[in-house]
Amino acid sequence: MQLVFIYGPPAVGKFTVGSELARRTGLKLFHNHLTVNLVSAVFERDSDVWLRLLRSIRRDVLVEAARHDVSLIMTGAYSGTFEHAEAWRTMLEPVRAEGGSIVFVQLTCARDELLQRVCSESRRSLDKLVDPVRLAELMERFDLFAAAPFEPHLCLDTTQAAPDEAARRIIHHYGLAVP
């Protein structure tokens, strides 16, 4: 099993780049909002039970994907905290335990561009954050541009790079198979 983990702040292009990468490689896209929306339909966002279930569901999906040799592209945001890095280690451990490999792609973007992108109508249809004031608050509260402490690692700036170019660079950098 191979896991390509794409992360970065809201509106950086994780879903868009991940979708293009999935199209080019045939890997399945496990978009973080699939789980966020599922758990948020039942529990208050950011509550203890919400966070516990969110992490549990993501880990369970990775356990089964690793056991069944289903390679994935996964997306997520990183807060820049030690606790968040440890939560990722726990979530990703089954992939390595089953002999899978994980590569990381950090997407970055100019702050002003993020604040414009966050208002995109396409984000609303996926029930994503669409409020630039809330995004600015999150950027003040957390280091959403921090590099996660995992290797191997590729950092791409999506301020000007089109999704197809970013996907091409990921494929080239990691030598991903293209059918």
Given this model, what pLDDT does residue 78 score? 96
pTM for the structure as a whole: 0.95
Q: DSSP H helical segments within 68-158, as ranges?
A: 82-97, 111-117, 121-125, 132-141
47 inside domain: yes
Domain count across the chain: 1
Given this model, what pLDDT does residue 22 score? 98
The torsion of the CA quartet 28, 49, 10, 13, rounded to 10 degrees, works out to: 0
52 inside domain: yes
Given this model, what pLDDT does residue 111 score? 95
Given this model, what pLDDT does residue 126 score? 81
123 inside domain: yes
Given this model, what pLDDT does residue 124 score? 86
179 inside domain: no
**Cis peptide, bond prior to residue 10, ω within 30 of zero:** no
Would the pLDDT of 155 be above 90?
yes
Which CATH number characterizes residue 73's domain? 3.40.50.300
Q: How far is Cα 157 from Cα 107, in angstroms, rounded to an integer?
A: 6
Percent of the chain with pLDDT over 70: 100
pLDDT tens, position by position, 107-140: 999 999 999 999 998 888 888 999 999 999 999 9
Q: Which long-range contacts (CB under 8 A, 24 or more apart) does 79-83 make?
A: 79/142, 79/143, 79/144, 79/146, 80/142, 80/143, 80/144, 80/145, 80/146, 81/142, 81/143
Summarize the confidence of residues 65-75 as an average pLDDT.
97
Higher-pLDDT residue of 173, 126: 173
Domain of 154 in residue numbering reads as: 2-174
Mean pLDDT (the chain, rounded)? 95
Summarize the confidence of residues 6-30 as an average pLDDT.
97
Given this model, what pLDDT does residue 113 score? 95
Would the pLDDT of 71 be above 90?
yes
84 inside domain: yes
168 inside domain: yes
Percent of the chain with pLDDT over 90: 92
Would the pLDDT of 40 be above 90?
yes
How many Å separate Cα 142 from the centre of its chain? 16
Given this model, what pLDDT does residue 125 score? 83
9 inside domain: yes
